[in-house]
Amino acid sequence: MKKSSLTTAVVAGIAGVAGLVSVSNAVNINPDGLGQVLIYPYYTVNSGNATLISVVNTTDEVKAVKVRFLEGRNSQEVLDFNLYLSPFDVWTGAITGAAEGSDPIDAAAAVLSTTDKSCTVPAIPAAGQQFVNFQYAFNNDDGGPYENSRTREGHIEMIEMGRVSGSLATAATHNSSGAPANCGTIRAAWDVGGTWSVNPSAQILFPNGGLFGGAEIVDVANGTNVSYNADAIDGFFVTATNQNLHSNPESVQPSLESARSDDFLNAQAVVFHAGTLAQFDFQAVDHDTAGLKAVSAIFMHDEIYNEYVTSSGFASEWVVTFPTKRMHLQRSRVTGNGNDDREPFVAFYDGDDSSPVGACEPITFQYWNREEQRPQGGSVGFSPPRPGTPGLSLCYEAQVVAFNQDNVLDVYYGGNQSDVLGSYFASNIVLAFSEGWGRMGMGDADNVLVDSDGAVLQGLPVTGFWAGAVTLSGSGGSALANFSIVHKHRAGRSFTTQTP
């Protein structure tokens, strides 16, 4: 790990760009919101919600983007496709789902619809594309629920694969009527014998970022809208030669483990913390997981912080998403179950018919009211407790933690859905105060990520936000005022240069 003060970095930048080269060539979360990769921490179509998503190309070049939807329990892929964004283009889509009915377990799968004209391969049907359960059911059974209803909540990745050039860029570029010149040419390039079918790198330049995006979780009936910006990862794929990540629409590549900082599969991660700039180096020696570990490093936090309000008319939930967890667990299944394969995650993915299936990592939770008072008594736990899970823990990849709600638990085991986001597998914490703030500790002493120099990051790779819904009675009870609250989690970091 290399560490320098921001003052030193600024002085170096004034003296010459060379002082900041390591930042632009390393994986980092761009605080300005632009990047090569976008992480959308949560989508849901439960309890009357729909999720509207957008991605914007701020550059004057055509972008090839992998769009990936992952269900929330084990981040199994439920829909992937290639998107080709025209210069200065915006693509939008809507994730919707039929009402749950009397039994949410039997609810229909989520559906992606779009009226956008940008080229996708394959084309998205006018009636929408249903999410699928192929990756967690049938021959791919992962031990968890296999129903289509499992697709109804999760998170989203968008990865820039490269920039399109030549005649294929011309085909994807919008004409004066606002439509691509020829989407048929783009799709034909992937047909048997087509340009990209023969060589996916033909007319493709290396990715260079400039994407931003966001989502709106809308409940039309209740008049609420939880909106957030996607996390933007920059410096994700940097090479000295004209390499790219362009892949077949049917491929599950690229993924978050595709990150690299040179032509040798090494990856560096840069984080800002307490006025310092820290770089972590990962060499491509441990089953080529350098890129995955670099992406995990930029999301590593030992604590997250946010507020809550559960007074009359208010409901509060925290979305807590581990965007890289699935890749670490997949690696452990392929290479064995040693900690080096799973780190910074420790738990095995496990469970049976009597308890929820998951890989449960320990957390802690402390909270205060708005007058800095803490509750009296013992430690905080989930209520009701999850069957078969250890202490206070989070078992899934994109999950909801509710506060002061009634019998919120996994619906597959008889629980209720959460009040705001309708989560099927939320956890609930009973708090003594109706409003205040909380501090959630991520993992314990075993949850560490170690770089090639022996530097240690403590915690778990996490992102998310507080989502609140408010229903206030109007004057004389004649009207209702419905609105939403959303705040991104704030977070702490803990790292040392000590080898564990």
Considering the domain boundaries, does residue 432 fall inside one? yes
118 and 205 within one domain: yes
In this prediction, residue 433 carries a pLDDT of 95
Highest mean predicted confidence (pLDDT) among 253-262, 269-278, 367-376: 253-262
Same domain, 242 and 313: no
Does the pLDDT value for residue 496 go beyond 80?
yes
Do residue 84 and residue 152 come from a single domain?
yes
Of the three residues 258, 284, 313, the one that is the final residue of a domain is: 258
Q: Where in the sequence is the domain holding 71, given as residue range(s)?
A: 31-258
pLDDT tens for 209-258 read 999 999 999 999 888 999 999 999 999 999 989 899 999 999 999 999 99
> Are 251 and 310 within one domain?
no
- Mean pLDDT of the region 447-451: 95
User: Which residue in this structure is represented by tokens 């609140």?
Assistant: 468
- Whether the per-residue pLDDT at 479 is higher than 80: the answer is no
Any domain includes 13: no
Parallel/antiparallel/unpaired status of strands 62-71 and 211-219: unpaired
Q: How many folded domains does the chain comprise? A: 2
Looking at residue 303, its pLDDT comes to: 98
Does residue 9 lie in a domain region? no
- 281 exposure class (CB count in 10 Å sphere: 0-12, 13-18, 19+): buried
| DSSP H helical ranges for 126-275 | 166-172, 183-188, 195-198
Please check the confidence at residue 23 and state whether its pLDDT lies above 70. no
Q: Are residues 309 and 167 in the same domain?
A: no
Is there a single domain that holds both residue 316 and residue 201? no
Indicate the DSSP class of residue 104. Answer: G
Give CA–CA dist 265/287, Å, rounded. 11
Asked whether residue 337 falls in the same domain as residue 238, the answer is no
Alpha-helical (H) ranges within 276-376 are 290-299, 325-335, 339-342
pLDDT the model gives residue 500: 39
- Measuring CA to CA, which residue among 433, 438, 162, 436 is closest to residue 318? 438
Please tell me the predicted confidence (pLDDT) of residue 53.
98
First to last CA, the chain: 14
Pair of tokens at residue 102: 């009397």
Q: Is 23 among the domain residues?
A: no
Please check whether residues 242 and 354 belong to one and the same domain.
no
CA–CA dist 244, 232 (Å, integer): 19
Residue whose entry in the numeric block shows the structure tokens 């202490």: 391
Q: Do 129 and 66 share a structural domain?
A: yes
Residue 283 lies in a domain: no
Residue 346 lies in a domain: yes
Q: What is the pLDDT of residue 378?
A: 57
Binned at pLDDT 50, 70 and 90, residue 355 comes out as low
Q: How many CB atoms lie within 10 A of CB 52?
A: 17
Q: What is the pLDDT of residue 24?
A: 66
Please tell me whether residues 234 and 313 are part of one structural domain: no
pLDDT band (50, 70, 90) for residue 331: confident
Tell me the average pLDDT across 265-271. 95
- What does the pLDDT look like over 103-123, one tens digit per residue? 999 999 999 999 999 999 999
Dihedral sign, CA of 3, 361, 42, 246?
positive
Integer Cα distance of 336 and 359 in angstroms: 16
Distance, in Å, from the CA atom of 406 to the CA atom of 426, rounded to the nearest integer, reads: 11
Please answer whether residues 46 and 100 qualify as being in contact, where contact means their C-beta atoms are separated by less than 8 angstroms.
Answer: yes
Which contiguous run of DSSP H or E holds residue 290?
helix 290-299
Q: Are 156 and 199 in contact (CB under 8 A)?
A: no
Is residue 290 situated within a structural domain? no
* Distant-in-sequence contacts of 329-333, Cβ < 8 A, 24+ apart: 329/74, 329/359, 331/257, 331/287, 331/289, 331/292
Q: Does residue 279 belong to any structural domain of this protein? A: no
Residue the block writes with tokens 């892929």: 77
Token pair listed for 363: 């957390």
- Residue 5: predicted pLDDT: 52
How would residue 498 be classed by pLDDT, with cut points 50, 70 and 90?
very low
Residues 238 and 336 in one domain: no
Cα distance between residue 301 and residue 365, in whole Å: 14
Closest of 346, 340, 394 to residue 73, by C-alpha: 394
pLDDT at 183: 97
Residues 224 and 137 in one domain: yes
Among 67-81, 226-240, 292-306, 345-359, the range scoring the smallest mean pLDDT is 345-359
Weakest mean pLDDT among 140-149, 235-244, 343-352, 448-457 = 343-352
> pLDDT digit string (tens) for 397-415?
999 999 999 989 889 888 8
Residue 286 has pLDDT above 70, yes or no: no
Q: Which residues of 164-203 are buried (b: 16+ CB within 10 A; e: fewer)?
A: beeebbbbbbbeeeeebbbbebbbbbbeeeebbeeebebb
Query: What percentage of the chain exceeds 90 in pLDDT?
Result: 75
What mean pLDDT comes out for the span 390-401? 90
pLDDT band at 144 (very low <50, low <70, confident <90, very high): confident
Structure tokens at 248: 């077949």
